[in-house]
């Protein structure tokens, strides 16, 4: 194929994308999404920011609710939310970048990079197994130590692995969603790159994507327009963050009451566990900045296309796993830092969810249609999966997503 032919095809594709975007009735789309969002969130309670884009062109960008119940600051596209486990895709892309730089080999064993792990099991577990939740490593962090769970860093969260001597299953043979395997990349990045983890991510990912409103949480961090996470203030048995365990929550003395008389209690750092770790879930960012991340990935600015394809490839079957219920739905796989939904008759959906304290997050891409859906919440009473399916239905009906 000649260079002239390539240019002509690229131009035609570009014009088709533009024409497709223009044919969408944005007013009708906005009205339908508005109606859906206002049926789930109220303006005087914790809420959500939602951004929908097609080929980088924003189709919907609104917030509803209160970011900080103490100050009354409203939610919009510049509100910074904790995205919890969606942070894992940033760690995965960072790992792929290190492989491109010749610093690590994802096919190598963990034992190669962590000689302090003496058990023979570490010769079986490869770095790629850590990224695809197929390592077989159990989550044996000391959850009975309240101080530890509230304050533990990445390095402290993996300390139990030094003496670990058994796996739940043969690496690569099953799916079990756990967080501390991603925390290993915090230390690995620093050992192999010679840079602090946050500095490596900033230089090779955040800055290159043009993300200016993103950072890893630290207790002393000053995060502009930071949302707090909130839960309904009542005694309850609840599921833990990004995992399968449940725990008891008790009503607290101090709370905020909305106009419907619902009591809300702040639930983030200091109230909920594992906010201090970074590689598995420590990022705070905005919907606006997250779109910059998605655009940089789409344009192969951060890593080579071949590396990105490895991240989006279904490596581990999630559906039917006996080890983990997290996102365990039909037609679901895990790549490196992303879930892949391959429901028949629908476009493949590459997505991730995040949950910690009062925060919920959801980010999905429909690659063939160039569509991104980014929803960040600071309350957890809404059934996120049902809501995103309703959003997806509207996007299909309005021609934003074409499943043919």
Could you tell me if residue 135 is inside a domain? Answer: yes
Number of domains within the chain:
1
User: What end-to-end distance do the CA atoms of the chain give, in Å?
Assistant: 28
Examine residue 299 and state whether it is found in any structural domain, yes or no: yes
Provide the token pair at 304. 């080579």
Q: What is the DSSP string of 187-204?
A: HHHHHHHSS-HHHHHIII
So what's the pLDDT on residue 246?
61
Per the domain annotation, does 3 fall within a domain? no
3-state secondary structure of 257: strand
Domain that holds residue 318: 25-404
Q: Give whole-number Cα distances, 273 to 152, 156, 282, in Å.
A: 9, 13, 12
* Local confidence pLDDT in tens for the 404 residues of the chain: 444 444 444 444 443 444 455 589 999 999 999 999 999 999 999 999 999 999 999 999 999 999 999 999 999 999 999 999 999 999 999 999 999 999 999 999 999 999 999 999 999 999 999 999 999 999 999 988 888 989 999 999 999 999 999 999 999 999 999 999 999 999 999 999 999 999 999 999 999 999 999 999 999 989 999 999 999 988 766 665 555 556 667 788 788 999 999 999 999 998 888 899 999 999 999 999 999 999 999 999 999 999 999 999 999 999 999 999 999 999 999 999 999 999 999 999 999 999 999 999 999 999 999 999 999 999 999 999 999 999 999 999 999 999 87
Q: How far apart are CA 342 and CA 363, in angstroms?
A: 16
Q: What is the pLDDT of residues 261-307, one digit of tens each?
A: 999 999 999 888 889 999 999 999 999 999 999 999 999 999 999 99
Within-domain flag for 304: yes
pLDDT at 8: 40
Q: Which helix (H) or strand (E) holds 182?
A: helix 180-193
Q: The domain spanning residue 331 has which CATH number?
A: 3.40.710.10
pLDDT, tens only, 160-213: 999 999 999 999 999 999 999 999 999 999 999 999 999 999 999 999 999 999
- Integer CA distances (angstroms), 10 to 4, 16, 55, 140, in order: 10, 10, 14, 51
Residue 191 lies in a domain: yes
According to the model, what pLDDT value does residue 221 have?
87
Q: Is 53 a domain residue? A: yes
Is residue 269 within 8 Å of 276, Cβ to Cβ?
yes
CB burial readout 291-317, b (16+ within 10 A) else e: bbbbbbbeeeebbeeebbebbbebbbe
Is residue 8 one of the residues assigned to a domain? no
Instruction: Tally the C-alpha atoms within 13 A of residue 141's C-alpha that lie toward its C-beta.
Output: 26
Residue 2, in any domain of the structure: no
pLDDT score at 403: 87
CA distances from 180 to 54, 133, 213, 311, 386 (A): 34, 10, 26, 19, 28
Buried b (16+ CB within 10 A) or exposed e, 332-355: bbbbbbbbbbeeeeebbbbbbbbb
Handedness of CA 141, 145, 146, 147 (dihedral sign): negative
DSSP string, 369-380: GTEEEEEEESB-
Do residues 233 and 250 touch, judged by C-beta distance below 8 A? no
* 189 Cβ neighbours under 8 A, 6+ residues apart: 94, 95, 98, 195, 197, 200, 201, 279
| DSSP type of residue 401 | S
pLDDT score, position 375: 98
190 burial level (CB within 10 Å; 0-12, 13-18, 19+):
middle
What SS3 state is found at 283?
Answer: strand
């Amino acid at each position: 194929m000649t260079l002239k032919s390539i240019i002509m095809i690229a131009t035609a594709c570009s014009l088709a994308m533009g024409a497709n975007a223009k044919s969408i009735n944005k007013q009708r789309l906005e009205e339908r999404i508005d109606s859906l969002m206002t049926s789930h969130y109220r303006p005087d309670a914790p809420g959500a920011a939602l951004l929908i884009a097609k080929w980088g062109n924003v189709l919907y960008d609104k917030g509803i609710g209160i970011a900080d119940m103490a100050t009354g600051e409203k939610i919009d596209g510049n509100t910074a939310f904790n995205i919890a486990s969606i942070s894992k895709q940033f760690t995965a892309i960072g790992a792929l970048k290190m492989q491109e730089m010749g610093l690590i080999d994802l096919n190598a064993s963990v034992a190669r990079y962590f000689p302090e792990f003496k058990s023979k099991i570490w010769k079986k577990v490869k770095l790629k197994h850590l990224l695809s939740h197929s390592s077989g490593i159990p989550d044996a962090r000391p959850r009975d130590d309240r101080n530890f769970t509230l304050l533990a860093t990445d390095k402290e969260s993996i300390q139990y692995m030094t003496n670990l001597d058994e796996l739940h299953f043969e690496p690569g043979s099953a799916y079990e969603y756990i967080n501390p395997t991603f925390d290993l990349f915090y230390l690995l990045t620093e050992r192999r790159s010679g840079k602090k983890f946050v500095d490596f991510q900033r230089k090779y990912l955040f800055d290159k994507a043009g993300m200016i409103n993103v950072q890893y949480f630290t207790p002393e961090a000053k995060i502009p327009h930071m949302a707090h996470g909130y839960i309904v203030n009542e005694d309850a048995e609840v599921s833990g963050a990004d995992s399968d365990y449940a725990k008891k929550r008790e009503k607290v003395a101090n709370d905020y009451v909305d106009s419907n008389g619902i009591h809300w209690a702040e639930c983030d750092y200091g109230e909920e566990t594992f906010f201090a770790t970074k590689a598995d879930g420590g990022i705070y960012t905005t919907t606006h900045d997250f779109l910059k991340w998605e655009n940089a990935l789409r344009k192969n600015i951060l890593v080579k296309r071949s590396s990105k394809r490895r991240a989006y490839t279904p490596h581990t079957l999630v559906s039917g796993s006996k080890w983990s219920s997290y996102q365990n739905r039909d037609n679901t796989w895990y790549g490196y830092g992303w879930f892949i939904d391959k429901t028949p008759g629908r476009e493949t959906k590459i997505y991730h969810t995040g949950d910690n304290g009062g925060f919920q997050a959801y980010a999905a891409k429909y690659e063939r249609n160039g569509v991104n859906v980014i929803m960040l919440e600071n309350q957890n009473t809404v059934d996120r999966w049902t809501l995103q399916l309703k959003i997806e239905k509207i996007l299909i009906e309005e021609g934003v997503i074409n499943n043919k």
